[in-house]
A and B are shown apart, each in its own frame.
Chain A
Amino acid sequence: MTKEKIEDGRDDMLIDGEPEQRQGNAIPEGFNANYLKVYYGKLFPHADIFKWISYGNDGKHPACDQSYFGRREFSFTLDNDIYVRFQSFNSAVELENSIKEKCPFKIDIGAVYSVDPAKRHAYAQAGDNVFTPVERELVFDIDMSDYDDVRYCCSGADVCLDCWPLMTIAIKVIDTSLRDDFGFNHILWVYSGRRGVHCWVCDGRARRLTNEQRAAIVDYFRVYKVGNENSHKKVSLMGHVLHPFLARSYTEVLRAFFEEKLLCSQKIFATEERFEKILKMIPDDSITSELWGRWQENRRSSISKEDLNVVRWEQLKHMLQSGKQKVQGLRRCVEEIVFSYTYPRLDTEVCGYSLFLSTYCCPEEICEHISYFRFHLQVSKHMNHLLKAPFCVHPKTGRVCVPIDPDQCEEFDPTTVPTLSKLLEELNMGGLRADIDYDWDKTSLGKSVRFFRSSFLQPLLKSCKEEMESSYNAKLQHSKNSISW
């Protein structure tokens, strides 16, 4: 009965029967408008998203900017892949109602603009482009498909527990750097629902970064040179030593992961095709041919019980680091191999920086070139870029985009993230419990929402409030001083 009720999309979902009738309550896996309707009706944390995006401007403090939330762009992807941009809302209620009414398959969050996005055309006549982004979180998008050349367990859209750790280390490396190097504190990591993670850096400082500054951060993180089809090595670590950031990433995260997990889980040296890929990264023919010869013969694992991959890696390291090597380029070869396989691969376009433009010419040059074509460069849309909102449901997997705790990211398992249908099931079973305030708390989503609130939202709002008060007081002081006679 419950099953039918859900499919009708009706609100009351009374449980009929005992928990033993679990089978009868089971909701088929899937993703559709009806499920979504219930999800948005009962589970999606509207108020928390609103509070986050308002950054404290929803309060009563005189320093609050009442127009702030209304100037934020949202975009909805509706059923039939209709994509609508430049949505904006003036209050939490408006946002919530719109989501419940439209049931978007995906909600994206864009930038805060100088004026309400819905009214942008009114300002276009002025000539001067008054409609520009003024604030935008610093965001990163890490997608497993960018690692296809170094994972053999899956490819494309799939992920499994053997390759997921690549995301884990990406989170560790980037998160540590954002906090320790750049001094950011309010960082939200979110599972993308299928095969990647998103990172939202929400400090005021981050939101106010210019495009050039965002580009600089992305370049700071970048180690892959853009390789052509013939280049076998995409990482080139020059210099006598590594920059402290890279050195720390290597010693604290990458090396251990490569040697203790990846080598064996991906069987990196197990076949000729696989180990050839690594040998191609070594610019010394005498070494590569010797290793190749050794491994060709040595099909069967020899005396040792150790994993073949570990053995071969040790052999390779020994040859490269034995100190006899004078050849240029060998110095960092071991690190380069480890980096190639493990270092985070950022979708730089999402970060708000177009790789194409940065590598090849300055944006002005291209703009100049085609200025009279109706063309909007990615670079001019940096802050313009939209990213999927947390707690959306991924249409292909049905999984919720839940936050990930960077301090516990090793425990995160994408295969056990709650799905839409599972949540609805749990909701049914939770029934009419009076002791729980929120519906999401009756489900496995509860843990995620509570984590979002305690680890991210509360500290963020506290900091926003402090910032607001101190700048308000500073302004007051300043105006006092200037009036003084």
Chain B
Amino acid sequence: MEIVRSQRKSSVTDVAPTLPLYRSAPALEVRLDDFELFAIDRLRVLKGISDGLSRGRKPEEMEKLVRDLWRTNMRHQNTSEVINKDIISHFVLRLVYCRTEELRKWFLSMETTLFRYRFRLEIPEAQRALMGEFDLLYKAVGSAEFESVKEILGQVARSIGQPLPNADTIFFKVPFEEVPELVAGRRVYICKGYAYVPMNQVVSLVVTQFRSYLSKALVLTNRKWTSTIREQEKDRLTPIVEALSTSYLGPDYSQPKEFAEISIKDIDQVANTSFPLCMRHLFEKGVGLKLDDALAFWRAEFSQKVGTERFDKEYAYSIRHNYGKEGKRTDYTPYSCQKIISSTPGVGDHHGCPYRHFRFTLKLMHFHLPQGHATRQNAVYHSEITFFLSTQTSTVKLTSKQIYDFYHDCFLLVCLLLESEENLRAALGKMGVSDRAVEDIMDKVRNRHYQLACTLTFEAVHDSSCDAGINHPNQYFSDSQKILQSKMVIPLGEQLGGMVCICMRQHELVDRKL
């Protein structure tokens, strides 16, 4: 791709409007502003998809969402330019999102989803052509063979609630290794290592290929970026690229609307009414396992096995080390929900999205020491360490000698994860969320819809709906304030808009020891 500042020259001839595979950067010339604008438009599509996924939209809804998002954002006045915009924007975003593991994961996930639904929206002939592009040269099941397996294929269809296949349904014989999700769900008939995959399931095959290709391409792009492009383009593209990845495409919450003097008392009051859970976390005591508690707990457990001396020498040090290690960040940019959710808090930190980090619970239940085995190795090697992973509806029991390795290294994990589901429930209860709503929220959490959980919390606390969903802690706060003001709970003129600027910088607050 050649980037020129001024005039534009399109060197692309007729391209049939089909789904590009982004195999190679096209030889196109792009204006610098288009470089950025195209990327932003595509980013809106990807963020819209991200939002749809986190709200738990069903496939049919996602299909419609993708179609609408694409239509809204990726148009171009020249219809022939539509495909160029598609390709250019993808490659620009590749540059933007190749630079860290976290960015790559997000981009890969969203682009794959986008591709999946655009593929579904294509006509069958186009789909088959795309399959060919991916070298998915599977044998289609001929009519004679189809007759012999028709009944069993029907059985599979009925077992997963799908309509029966008829003579027109095309099936492909695909090595089972290439369709692991279908095998795992028993959604296909397998015979002698080949899965009989109907055309409509071929989507997953194509998507898997797309994903795999893009994943590798991103790594390569990153290498090129770091080794040559970033430096070469430092006056031109690099600033644009770097800005794009942190761009938050919602309303701008970084500028304080007004500034007001806030006292600690005020914060407490506002915290109780209008802070989302991630902010309240800062003010709650006793959430999470304190270092001393963790040490005491582990020492008690381990002393039987390794002796207190050894425990103090080997284990206590690393517990302390890990507790103390984190929490010294210097980045002060206000985080959107997305950033908060995707960041990882340290043990003892109170950052991060509590819905996400409360999701996992490991309760160390008990240790059994079999009789007659007194040695240390023996004791841990043969003891039954029972872990229960509890999400209130189901538990998993893991017992195995291999757990020793797991256990040995994961005691720190257990420290973090002992911030249990109970704590989240308690925290929600303190916010005034009803039991019924708490269950709904926990359900969202279990299914990894963290922002949705926060939205439901908002709705429960304020007894009103929040259609836009929560995307930013500041948004929670300001929406909350709006509702409370409209209900005349807080007199006008005492807007704590200034709080927006201060309190949402989590780290600053910690530093000020509020």
Contacts and interface: CB of A to CB of B under 8 A. Distances in A.
Contacts of B387: 356
A89 to B, nearest CB: 23
Contacts of A216: 176, 180-181, 183-184
Nearest to B405: A376
Given A243-B155, A244-B189, A349-B400, 15 more contacts: A81-B381, A182-B190, A183-B191, A205-B177, A216-B181, A216-B184, A219-B183, A228-B395, A241-B155, A244-B152, A372-B322, A375-B410, A376-B406, A381-B405, A385-B402
A371 interface: yes
Given A81-B377, A213-B177, A244 B192 contact: no
A239 B161 contact: yes
Given A81-B381, A349-B400, A359-B396, A370 B416 contact: yes
Contacts of B402: 349, 378, 385
B304 interface: no
Nearest to B188: A243
List of 7 A-B pairs having minimum Cβ-Cβ separation, nearest first: A183-B193, A216-B180, A219-B184, A183-B192, A216-B184, A239-B159, A216-B183
B413 to A, nearest CB: 5
B489 to A, nearest CB: 38
24 contacts: A81-B378, A181-B192, A182-B190, A182-B192, A182-B193, A205-B193, A213-B177, A215-B184, A219-B184, A220-B183, A220-B184, A226-B394, A239-B159, A240-B158, A241-B158, A242-B155, A243-B156, A349-B400, A349-B402, A356-B398, A361-B359, A372-B322, A372-B325, A374-B318
Interface string B392-425: 0111101010100110011011001000000000
B186 interface: yes
Interface in B152-201: 152, 155-156, 158-161, 176-177, 180-181, 183-186, 189-194
A242 B159 contact: yes
B238 interface: no
Given A240-B158, A241-B159, A373 B409 contact: yes
A368 B325 CA distance: 17
Contacts of A209: 177
B480 to A, nearest CB: 29
B344 interface: yes
A240 B344 CA distance: 44
A81 B158 contact: no
A243 B187 CA distance: 8
B345 to A, nearest CB: 9
Contact of A240 (B161, B189, B193): B161
A228 B318 contact: no
A19 interface: no
Contact of B322 (A239, A244, A359, A373): A373
Nearest to A373: B412
A251 interface: no
Contact of A81 (B375, B389, B409): B375
Interface of A: 80-83, 180-184, 205, 209-210, 212-213, 215-217, 219-220, 225-229, 231, 239-247, 347, 349-350, 354-356, 359-361, 364, 366, 368-378, 381, 385
Interface residues of B, number: 55
A180 B155 contact: no
Contacts of A226: 394-396
B310 interface: no
A242 B382 CA distance: 40
Given A183-B192, A239-B160, A355 B396 contact: yes
A349 B158 contact: no
B215 interface: no
A184 B161 CA distance: 29
Contacts of B193: 181-184, 205
Contact of B412 (A183, A355, A370): A370
B360 interface: yes
Contacts of A228: 393-395
B446 to A, nearest CB: 8
B448 interface: yes
A371 B344 contact: yes
B76 interface: no
B410 to A, nearest CB: 5
A182 B392 CA distance: 36
B389 to A, nearest CB: 6
A223 to B, nearest CB: 9
A213 B344 contact: no
A243 B184 contact: no
Given A240-B158, A243-B159, A244-B189, A378 B406 contact: yes
A371 B357 CA distance: 14
Interface in B134-158: 152, 155-156, 158
Nearest to A374: B409
B394 A355 contact: no
B105 interface: yes
Nearest to B193: A183
A84 B176 CA distance: 37
A220 B322 CA distance: 40
A183 B175 CA distance: 10
